[in-house]
Structure 1
Amino acid sequence: MTRKRRSFTAEFKLEAASLVLDQDYSIPEASRSLAVGETVLRRWVKQLQQERSGCTPPGKALTPEQKRIQELEARVNRLEREKAILKKATALLMSDELERTS
């Protein structure tokens, strides 16, 4: 019988990590009260510390500021890809036009 893997929202992770960082709970206390593993709570605490220091995480962000940064970075990447495609298309159209006029 397989166990279903639990998933947690970013808000829950933020609140859990905040218990440890802001409300002086120990990791074992917080993990028991929230019924989550100590290892995962340590990971969330570490991620929140990094986000508060300005580092953008590779995975889903916990803080609203980092979420916004990730959204903007994704948008910039998409726009840069579109720009590269348009440059290639323009170059192809220009070369076709030059061949026709020659």
Structure 2
Amino acid sequence: MGAKRKSYTPQYRRDAARLVIDSGRTISAVAAQIGVGEQVLGRWVARERARMDQPPEAVDLDERAELERLRAENAQLRMDREFLKKAAAFFVAEGASEQTPRSQ
């Protein structure tokens, strides 16, 4: 029987690849540090770089509709807030003019 191959979790593979990518160190230096073969780590780095280059997942139709609804609601709330700010300023000004003593 041959030796059993080591298996690594996907998270470990991503973390090891990010160690190479983020630190700028060579694959061989990182491979020696973490005890992984250079070719194996090289494949992990290539996969991670390819994954990083992919655009984010597109939103589906339900998410797009929800996003449009929320944007419209947000715009309406902004207009309401602006109106209320102006109304509050008006009533503050009205209250100030009523409290000034009138000369008779």
How does the TM-score come out when normalised to structure 2? 0.51
- SS for the counterpart of 1:8 is coil
Count how many residue pairs are aligned between Structure 1 and Structure 2.
57
Distance 2:13 2:25 in 1: 15
Asked whether 1:45 is paired with 2:45, we answer yes
Give 1:2 shift.
Answer: 1.4
Asked whether 1:19 is paired with 2:16, we answer no
Structure 1 residues 12-34: Cα deviation after superposition (integer angstroms, max 9, x where no partner): 10111011101112101100011
- Structure 1, unaligned stretches of length 5 or more? 56-64, 70-102
- Structure 2, unaligned stretches of length 5 or more? 58-104
When Rg is computed on C-alpha atoms for both structures, the one with the higher figure is 2
How does the TM-score come out when normalised to structure 1? 0.52
Share of identical aligned residues, percent?
33
Q: 1:30 is matched by which residue type in structure 2?
A: V
- SS for the counterpart of 1:45 is helix
Could you tell me which residue of structure 1 aligns to residue 88 of structure 2?
none
Could you tell me which residue of structure 1 aligns to residue 36 of structure 2?
36
